Amino acid sequence: MTVKYLTDPSGNTTDVQLSIQDYLKLLEKANELPDYVKEGIKRGQDQARKGLTKSTEEVMLKYKKDK
C-alpha cells in the first residue's frame, strides 16, 4: 500500500492520500464485524420485532431510582 501524507505550510499532517484500490480494501475491512457483534445485532432486531424492547425513558427511569 502506498500512502502519501499531505502537510500544511507549518508541516502539520492534514491529509492522507492512497489509491482507490487501497481505499476500497480498507473500507471493506472496516465493514467486517466480528460474529459476536453480528449476533448481538440480530438478537436486538428479533427482540424489537417481538416488542421486547424498552424505551430510553424507561431505562433511564430505572437508573434514576437507583441513586
Predicted confidence (pLDDT) per residue in 48-63, tens digit: 899 888 888 888 888 8
3-class DSSP state of 62 = helix
Q: What is the largest CA-CA distance in the chain?
A: 58
Of 53, 33, 54, nearest to 43 (Cα)?
53
The pLDDT value given to residue 67: 57
For the chain, the structural domain boundaries read: 3-65
> 55 or 20, which is more confident?
20
Asked if the model's pLDDT at residue 66 lies above 80, the reply is no
The pLDDT value given to residue 5: 94
pTM: 0.44
User: Which secondary-structure segment (H or E) carries 16?
Assistant: strand 13-18
User: Mean pLDDT over all residues of the chain?
Assistant: 88
Q: Are strands 13-18 and 3-7 parallel, antiparallel or unpaired?
A: antiparallel
